[in-house]
Amino acid sequence: MGKVLMKGNEVIAEAAVHAGCKYFFGYPITPQSELVAYMARRLPEVGGLFLQAESEIAAINMVYGAAGTGVRVMTSSSSPGFSLKQEGISYLVGSELPALICNIVRGGPGLGNIQPAQSDYFQVTKGGGHGDYNIPVLAPASLQEIVELTQDAFDIADRYRTPVILMGDGMLGQMMEPVEFREREKALIDEKEWATTGTRGDGGPRIITSLELDAESLEQRNWKLQKKFATIKENEVRYETYQVDDADYIMVAYGTVARIAMNSINQARQKGVKVGLIRPISLWPFPEKPFIETRDQVKAFISVEMSAGQMIEDVRLAVNGHAPVDFFGRTGGVVPTQEEIYDKIMTVAGGVNV
């Protein structure tokens, strides 16, 4: 199978199918409905099941149920719908169930609009649900990267028994690019010894629950979870850097914004301004290493977001006072242009910004 031209939302769906995902439970919401529609048509072809639930809450709880049987399962939504899933997501974490949850972010808060945004950064990285937890969050910047990260997401989910979030903005969901689906080895351990598939008398019952009435026991579970989060933090950090070695200024951006920022960087370098880019691919765990390696050499970091200043907190935590951290953002569905980001660079660099 060579390269095919597809829409971002469909690429997520097809990549999930390639990763062995056979179950999808969801509820349509713009701008990710193509993903839902694609799954409705596609999953029966591979002997899987698509079900449009009667609400976002029903959908995430169906994911919980299916995940408990050890199959690869996913749901998808956009910002308001994603908020409705917070209880269910916390339950998935508490019960240590693998699943893929997509959030194709749109302008908020509230009903907002259906334009691209990144304003759910806090919600996905700091825990929109209750309790102490972290969830791996992957943020692709191209459609081919969607293919890879979707498959990685399922592998991470299975490896650590955890939900994984794939986060994109509406632009990524709607754009078309040629992609290639390469077959690859699945990390999935087919026999999940914890799955509640029925023991039929052979071995004791398997129980999946997040309930633990005894405080000491729940604390032990929590420290065990924290230990798992620490392992993920050690193993699953992903990022890309661009021209950071000699950089006086480093931009930080993820997703489609990072692609635009690269053009701004090229433009600035033509003017002699040495600027680079750190692109977090895993939003959690956040890549601290490239910051630690560069924070004592650069004059400033600039967090560039389609939000009002959320990732900047993680940047500031990673920089930890070693350099100033500046910010440029657009919100409400407005996508920053190459020129705007270029202007920001020039302003920060003290240059004339036309």
Q: Which of residues 31-60 bind a second copy (CB under 8 A)?
A: 41, 49, 51, 54, 57-58
Of 108-116, 174-182, 245-253, 344-352, the segment contacting a second copy by CB under 8 A is: 108-116
Distance (Å, rounded) from C-alpha 73 to C-alpha 43? Answer: 11
Exactly one of 71, 93, 261, 345 binds a second copy (CB under 8 A); that residue is 93
Contact status: 303 vs a second copy (CB under 8 A): no
Q: What is the DSSP letter of 337?
A: P
Contact status: 123 vs a second copy (CB under 8 A): yes
Q: Are 283 and 311 contacting, i.e. CB atoms less than 8 angstroms apart? A: yes
Contact status: 30 vs a second copy (CB under 8 A): no
What's the farthest any 2 CA atoms get from each other in the chain?
Answer: 76
Exactly one of 27, 38, 50, 82 binds a second copy (CB under 8 A); that residue is 82
Distance (Å, rounded) from C-alpha 122 to C-alpha 137? Answer: 11
Identity (one letter) of the amino acid at 18? H
Contact status: 181 vs a second copy (CB under 8 A): no
Q: Are strands 275-280 and 239-242 parallel, antiparallel or unpaired?
A: antiparallel
Contact status: 307 vs a second copy (CB under 8 A): yes
Question: What residues numbered 322-351 form the site for a second copy, per CB under 8 A?
Answer: 322, 330-334
Contact status: 321 vs a second copy (CB under 8 A): yes
Exactly one of 3, 4, 46, 109 binds a second copy (CB under 8 A); that residue is 109
Contact status: 219 vs a second copy (CB under 8 A): yes
- Report residue 168: phi and psi, to 5°: -135, 165
Residue nearer to a second copy on the CB measure, 268 or 306: 306
Contact status: 264 vs a second copy (CB under 8 A): no
Contact status: 218 vs a second copy (CB under 8 A): yes
Nearest Cα to 287, choosing from 123, 101, 137? 137
Contact partners, residue 65, CB within 8 Å, separation at least 6:
none
Residue nearer to a second copy on the CB measure, 133 or 160: 133
Contact status: 83 vs a second copy (CB under 8 A): yes
Distance (Å, rounded) from C-alpha 48 to C-alpha 58? Answer: 19
Identity (one letter) of the amino acid at 51? L
Contact status: 87 vs a second copy (CB under 8 A): yes
Tokens, residue 346: 């020039």
